[in-house]
């Protein structure tokens, strides 16, 4: 019995160490990407002022696209909600009628 307990703890220990190794690798990758981005900005062929303007311009474009996507999602969500309310309005009386009479009806 002691061997089974030892095997389970070894397996758990392996899983924990694998998860920790994966987390460590992810941190290293993220730090490397960030460092590369910063070094790319520092050694860019453009001046710092141009680079900052470019970064600000790209961020503004990203914000504009995000606002547009949010507005579009809101419109689509409202359309979906209204269609759902219509379907519920059609089906609800049928379901209530079936509960009272216990007779199946056509839902279409």
**How far, in Å, CA of 45 to CA of 35, rounded?**
18
What pLDDT is stored for residue 12 in this prediction?
64
DSSP SS3 for 16: helix
Domain chopping of the chain, boundaries: 1-43, 46-108
The pLDDT tens digits of the residues spanning 22-65 come to 888 999 999 999 888 888 877 777 777 887 888 889 889 989 99
Q: What is the CB neighbour count within 10 angstroms for residue 68?
A: 10
Mean per-residue pLDDT, 72-82 = 92
pLDDT at 103 over 80: no
């Amino acid at each position: 019995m002691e061997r089974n307990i030892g095997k389970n703890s070894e397996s758990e220990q392996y899983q924990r160490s694998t998860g920790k190794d994966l987390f460590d690798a992810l941190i290293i990758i993220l730090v490397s990407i960030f460092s590369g981005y910063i070094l790319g900005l520092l050694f860019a062929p453009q001046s710092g002022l141009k680079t900052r303007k470019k970064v600000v311009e790209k961020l503004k474009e990203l914000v504009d696209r995000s606002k547009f996507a949010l507005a579009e999602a809101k419109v689509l969500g409202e359309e979906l909600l209204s269609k759902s309310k219509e379907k519920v309005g059609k089906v609800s009386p049928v379901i209530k009628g079936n509960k009272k009479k216990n007779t199946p009806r056509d839902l279409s």
